[in-house]
Structure 1
Amino acid sequence: MNALPLLLIGLAMFAGGYLLYSKFLGNRVFRLDASFSTPAHELRDGVDYVPTNKFVLWGHHFTSVAGAAPIVGPAVAVIWGWLPAFLWVTLGTVFFAGMHDLGALWASARNKGRSIGALSGRYIGGRGANLFLVVIFLLLLMVVAAFAVVIKNLLISTPSAVIPAWGAVAVALLVGQAVYRYRMNLGLVTVIGVAALYGLILLGDAVPVELPDPILGMSPATFWILALFVYAGVASLMPVWVLLQPRDYINGVQLFVGLGILFVSVLLSAPAVVAPALNDAVPAGTPDLVPLLFVTIACGAISGFHGMVSSGTSSKQLDKETDARFVGYFGAVGEGMLALGAIIAATAGYRTLADWESVYSAFNSGGVAAFVEGGGAIVNGGLGLPASLSATILATMAVLFAATTMDTGVRLLRFVVQEAGEVVKVRINNGAGTLVAVAVGMGLTFSQGAGGDGGLRIWPLFGTSNQLLASLTLSIVAVMLIRKRRNPVPALVPLAVVFVMALWAAFVQLGDFYDAQDWLLLVIDLVIIVAALWVALEAVLAMRRASREPPEALDADVTAKAGLTA
């Protein structure tokens, strides 16, 4: 078969999910209210709390939650065949990720922009909240350290991406000034900004930047990682309108253009899917499809990291509560589209099955490289773009996704450090919190040498901890819905499926770490399992209490209008 049916069916499912299911969630389950005073207005400070145009906020949210994970996960998971990956991405996006992201955004907006960790203290209990913070901290640490390594590797392997990757920062700063300081038309600024980014891509393809070895007494790998952490630390301290919002918005538009180039290439060339629908000849050492599929593809189906972004930054910028449907649910759809593109690139971007099998010779042998190589071949065949330019476009997409997630992750890690300080009655300001976040992230990244590959040290635990966090986030949403006497089933079904699969995978990995005598990962995995089980028990008890208690005396929208504490 060719890739065209996969593309059309996948896009149709995403469109149906947004037009139908998200409308049901917004109107019947969450009852979004345009007159509700959001935290961006109530707590406006010009730094973190800033009312934002929903299209700009969608750009921030989409690029922050996406990162490289919806490329890596699907491009690895197709080793089991394209069909399981396709089904989990499409169904997971529509019924799981959309509910999770929209629910987390709504829950935080209804609670003054508090993070999921803080909400767990209110709706589940103090003990659960402290354990929740442990899981969140470990997950953010994995994201920040691992994405630094991913970006570093791409900048070294694809030097043509260096100029557009760093030039995008300058473009974003100019876009922020144009929109917020000079009040220029958003459409005009968007066109100019995207044109500038693609001009940088053309320049980067013509003038690739390969760093000398050594540079300033460091290897290129060490230099890039240091530069990335310095940038992320500075960016996380800036007001969101200066860099975070405009960079993520313009990147989001550019990345959708990149996806459009890939999808149009599929439409024009209808490349053959050479990978099997179900792979019965997986390489030796490949884990079982169930439960590992459900944690290998996290971002792109459902991801706990999205809940941290929704409640950490996006909820503080929500202009109207009704914008949450576009920002949260459609943000998940955008990531699902990226995951769909990764599946097609990694299965239809090779000429023969033998070529595909040579790449997928072992588990984890796919990933970003397979996406760039396969997607570049499809774009080259569909639009006739030079192979080097096609690879530059896709590599730049991956770098920009990963970079936006990395510096958002540092900002979120700073929030977690500050929340942990509140638990022990120590006030931590923004500068100190950022310094701790950057120091811990860099410490892990360089823990195995100056090459920085220590950032991948605990990455094998990302999928399980990420999905466990998603289920725990859904438990908070479910408790809120039960307390308001609204239908909790749309939250409870994905909660149950994801929690069982993620916990199962965590126990499987526990055995793998024991057999490999990897005691560090074994201990971290055990901590995550204990914390998740404990929080889950607390959540079940909270749901029982909520169902037995009278409905909330004052709904959040009423309390907000009355000027009371929500």
Structure 2
Amino acid sequence: MNAILLMLMGLGAMALGYFVYSKFICEKIFKVDPNFRTPAHEMQDGVDYVPTNKYILWGHHFTSVAGAAPIIGPAIAVIWGWVPAFLWVVFGTIFFAGVHDAGAIWASSRNKAKSIGALTGDIVGNRARSIFMIVIFLVLLMVNAVFAVVIANQLISFPSATVPVWGAIIVALIIGQLIYRKLIGLLMVTIIGVVALYAMIYAGPMFPLALPESVMGLSDRQGWIILLFVYAAIASLLPVWALLQPRDYINGIQLFIGLGLLYAAVIFASPDIVAPAFNTDVPEGTPSLIPLLFVTIACGAISGFHGLVASGTTSKQLDKEPDVRFVGYFGAIGEGSLALAAIIAATAGFATLADWQAIYHSFGQGGVGAFIRGGANILQDGIGLDAVLAQTLLTVMVVLFAGTTMDTGLRLQRYIFQEWGSIYNVGWMQKAAPATLLAVGSCLLLAFGAGGDGSGGMMIWPLFGTTNQLLAGLTLLVITVMLVKLGRPMWYTLAPLIFLLTMTTLGLLIQLKSFYDKGDWFLFTLDIIILVAAILVILESGSTLNKQIKANKTAKNTA
């Protein structure tokens, strides 16, 4: 099959989802109100609560939720064949991710921009909230610790990406001042930012920069990880308009240009997909397609991390409630298009089936490397881009998205510690600086305490997919309960919720057996904790949902 046909089918279906399905969900189910006073206006403080242009806010939301995961997951999952990965990305984006992301922003905005964890306490109950926040903390811990390793590895492998990756921070700081102080219009700011960023991408191969292999006893990977967390800590304390918003916005524009170049190269190169549609000869040790496909591809189909961003930072910047559709649902469409590009690069970016099989020789292979290698081949064949420049462009895309996710993730982790401080009346923990130090400290403790070389986060990464999808299911559960309380139709969130919780629970059970067989007692214990937490929250939420449905029927009968 030709990759052009796959691209057109995928993008066409997602466009239809946005123009038709998202309009129905936002107008008929969520009933967004243009006159509703959002928390960004009601609680404006110039730091976290800032009314924001919907295009800039879309850039923040999209790049924060994208990260490297919509590349890694699909580029691993094609080992089962490109058809299952393609179908889950397309239908997951339209009926799961878009509804989940827009719903989380809407639900949070309607409740003073509270996080999904805090909302659980208000809507379901305090016991569910306590358990939910532990799951949230684990997801953030995994994301922050692992993405730091991903970025460090890419900067070591591709030193040509160092200049554009760190230079993008300077560009974002300048853009933040230009936008906030309204010195020039948004269009001109966008042009300046994009030109500056791509000039640095072009210059990157000319000025490759790398850390020394050892400095003060630290390896280059350890050095990069520490620098990344120092940066992320500073970024998480700055006002959102100063760095977070402009960095995310310009990265969002950069991604769409990068995706445009990649999709244009697909049209001109017209590559055939060499990977099998359904792989009946998977390598030994590859787990079953069902349910593992639905937890291997999280970002790009549906991801619980999106709910954390939607209710943690995005809802605090929502200018008008109807912006929920563009920011949340279209943000999910953007990520779905990135996941689709990853599938194409990882299946059509190789000359022969044998070349593809050489990469996918065991489960877990592929990922970022397959995306960069396959995508660079398509860019080179399609639009004649130099091989090193093509690799630099794609590496910068991966690293910048992982970096913006770290920025937001660490800020969200700081919010978690502050919420715990508020819940348990620990005054000093409610302050931004101490909470940030706790967030950074917990990530570094995992990275260096468990891994020694800074890659300790990788140790619990096998549980990320299931934990993340569990979080997405629980977020849909909170939205569903809220809809029932408002007397709105619930099946548009309840159906994906049931499917997701079923697949995630099966995934946790399969992983439990795998950890037991390997004698990995740490992950075995952590898996049990997550599984028990899931069951408790599901039971608590199910009880609340059932009571509310009965209350609605009683009220209807007595009316």
The TM-score by the shorter chain falls in which range?
over 0.9
What is the match of residue 238 of structure 1? 238
Equivalent residue for 1:404?
A: 404
Letter in 2 for 1:432: P
Counterpart of 1:501 (choices 497, 503, 526) is: 503
Amino acid at match of 1:491: T
1:432 to 428, 431, 434: 434
Partner of 1:144: 144
**Which TM-score applies when normalising by structure 2?**
0.98
- The aligned amino acid for 2:548 is A
Q: Specify which of 454, 457, 460 is matched with residue 455 of structure 1.
A: 457
1:542 Cα offset (Å)? 1.0
Alignment match, 1:558: none
The CA deviation at 1:483 is: 0.6
User: 8 Å contact 1:484–1:551 — kept in the other structure?
Assistant: no
120-129 or 175-184, larger mean C-alpha shift? 175-184
Match of 2:548 in 1: 546
**Residue 417 of structure 1 corresponds to which residue in structure 2?**
417
| CA displacement, residues 307-330 of structure 1 (integer Å, 9 cap, x when unaligned) | 000000000000000001000000
Change in Cα spacing, 1:44 to 1:551, as seen in structure 2 (3 Å) is farther
Question: Which residue number corresponds to residue 536 of structure 2?
Answer: 534
Q: Which deviates more from structure 2 when the two are superposed, residues 515-524 or residues 70-79?
A: 515-524
1:488 CA drift (Å): 0.6
In the alignment, structure 1 residue 326 sits paired with structure 2 residue 326: yes
Whichever residue aligns with residue 256 of structure 2, its letter is F
Paired residue for 1:96?
A: 96
Query: Which amino acid in the other structure matches residue 455 of structure 2?
Result: D
Contact 1:294 1:501 in 2 (8 A): yes
Counterpart in 1 of 2:448? 446
Q: Displacement of 1:550 after TM fit?
A: 4.8
Q: Which residue of 2 aligns with 1:513?
A: 515
Question: Is the 2:211–2:223 Cα contact (8 Å) retained in structure 1?
Answer: no
> Is 1:214 matched up with 2:214?
yes
State the match for 2:310 in structure 1. 310
Deviation at 1:55, TM superposition (A): 0.2
- Could you tell me which residue of structure 2 aligns to residue 282 of structure 1? 282
* Distance in 2 between residues matched to 1:150 and 1:299, nearest whole Å: 16
Provide the rounded CA distance (Å) in 2 between the counterparts of 1:420 and 1:9: 46
Q: Deviations over 1:174-226 (max 9, x none)?
A: 00000102442001100110110000101112211122222354211111000
Could you tell me which runs of 5 or more consecutive residues in structure 2 were left unpaired when the two chains were aligned.
none
Could you tell me how far 1:528 is from its partner in structure 2? 0.6
Q: Is the 8 A contact 2:451 2:459 kept in 1?
A: no
- CA distance in 2: counterparts of 1:244 and 1:523, whole angstroms: 36
Equivalent residue for 2:200?
A: 200
User: Which residue type is aligned with residue 305 of structure 1?
Assistant: F
Residue of structure 2 equivalent to 1:181: 181
Q: How much does 1:451 deviate?
A: 2.2
Residue-by-residue CA offset, 1:100-148 (whole Å, 9 max, x unaligned): 0010000000000000000000111110000000100001000000000
Instruction: Report the secondary structure of 2:276's partner residue.
Output: coil
Cα separation, 2, equivalents of 1:500 and 1:270: 39
Per the alignment, residue 559 of structure 1 pairs with: none
* 461, 464, 467: which one aligns with 2:466: 464
Give the C-alpha shift of residue 549 in structure 1: 2.6
Give the secondary-structure state (helix, strand or coil) at the position aligned to 1:549.
helix
**Deviation string for 1:459-484 (max 9, x for gaps)?**
00000000011010001100111011
Identical aligned residues as a percent: 58
TM-fit CA distance, 1:447: 2.4
Is 220-229 or 451-460 further displaced after alignment?
A: 451-460
Instruction: Give the deviation of 1:504 after TM superposition.
Output: 0.4
Task: Give the aligned length.
Answer: 553
CA distance in 2, matches of 1:284, 1:159: 35
Report how far residue 453 of structure 1 moved: 1.4
| Counterpart residue number, 2:476 | 474
Contact 1:485 1:551 in 2 (8 A): no
The CA deviation at 1:552 is: 13
Deviates more, 1:122-131 or 1:208-217: 208-217
- CA RMSD of the aligned region, Å? 1.2
SS at match of 2:218: coil
Q: Distance in 2 between matches of 1:552 and 1:316?
A: 36
Aligned to 1:560: none
| Maintained 8 Å contact 2:487/2:552 | no
Could you list the structure 1 runs, at least 4 aligned residues long, displaced by more than 4 angstroms after superposition: 550-553
SS at match of 1:137: helix
Which residue in 2 is equivalent to 1:372? Answer: 372
1:416-438 C-alpha deviation (Å, 9 max, x unpaired): 11112222221321101100000
In the alignment, which residue of structure 2 is the partner of 1:110? 110
Q: Which residue of 2 aligns with 1:556?
A: none
Structure-2 residue corresponding to 1:78: 78
Question: Per the alignment, do residues 376 and 128 of structure 1 end up closer, same or farther by CA in structure 2, a change over 3 Å counting?
Answer: same
Q: Distance in 1 between matches of 2:289 and 2:492?
A: 26
Q: CA deviation at 1:544?
A: 1.3
TM value normalised by structure 1: 0.97
Residues of 2 paired with 1:204 and 1:499: CA distance?
44
* Deviations 1:274-314, CA, capped at 9 Å, x for gaps: 00000001000000000000000000000000000000000
- 3-state secondary structure, aligned to 2:162: helix
